Amino acid sequence: MQALSDANILLVFGTDTGNTEEVADKICDAFAQHGCAVEMVNITDVEAEQYEEQDLIIFGIPTWDFGGIQGDFEEVEADLEALKLPGKTVALYGLGDQLGYGYYFVDAMGWVKEKLHDSGARFIGAWPTEGYDFDESRAANADKSFFCGLAIDEDQQFDLTDDRIETWVKQLFAEFEVEQSDAV
């Protein structure tokens, strides 16, 4: 069984305004507090071989306007669908605006999960929807109790971001350990 502190971790993000990259930096800092190094790379710069070397891959994406996918991720849609990640663990985080776009809140995060559905990866890091005020989300499960990853709202709830990241990273440590023991 491998501990997350010994794992190779890659954080892949796309951003237009810099917010998703800033959240990526905070996630990397939270991992560093646990003694983990995380390689952070923009989706435009990642090479397919980099995925093969990882134990945990974190994808971060913002949702634009009415459920729009960040442009760099749209450009690599076919590559995402073709990824083969058996034995790999994936976690997701997404940014959105629940007040301005409550019917599309963090939809892009759900889109990424859909694109990776057939990759063979195991997903961890589902995040409760409690504390959010949204109408619909492609990233939420059927009963809207969980998102498929960490939901961040830098527009309406920026004051909660740091605590959410810290809690989520601790959750990833616990889930990765359980997931690794189940895989053995």
Domain ranges in the chain are 4-178
Average pLDDT over residues 120-134: 96
Q: What whole-number percentage of the chain has pLDDT above 90?
A: 81
Banded pLDDT at 183 (limits 50, 70, 90) = low
In this predicted model, what pLDDT tens digit does every residue of 71-95 receive, in sequence order? Answer: 899 999 999 999 999 989 999 999 9
pLDDT given at position 48: 84
Token pair recorded at residue 18: 């810099």
In this predicted model, what pLDDT tens digit does every residue of 18-71 receive, in sequence order? Answer: 999 999 999 999 999 999 999 999 999 998 889 989 999 999 999 988 878 898
Residue 153: strand, helix, or coil: coil
Specify the pTM.
Answer: 0.94
Render 19-49 in DSSP notation, one character per residue: HHHHHHHHHHHHHHTTT--EEEEETTT--HH
Determine the topology of domain 4-178 in CATH. Rossmann fold (3.40.50)
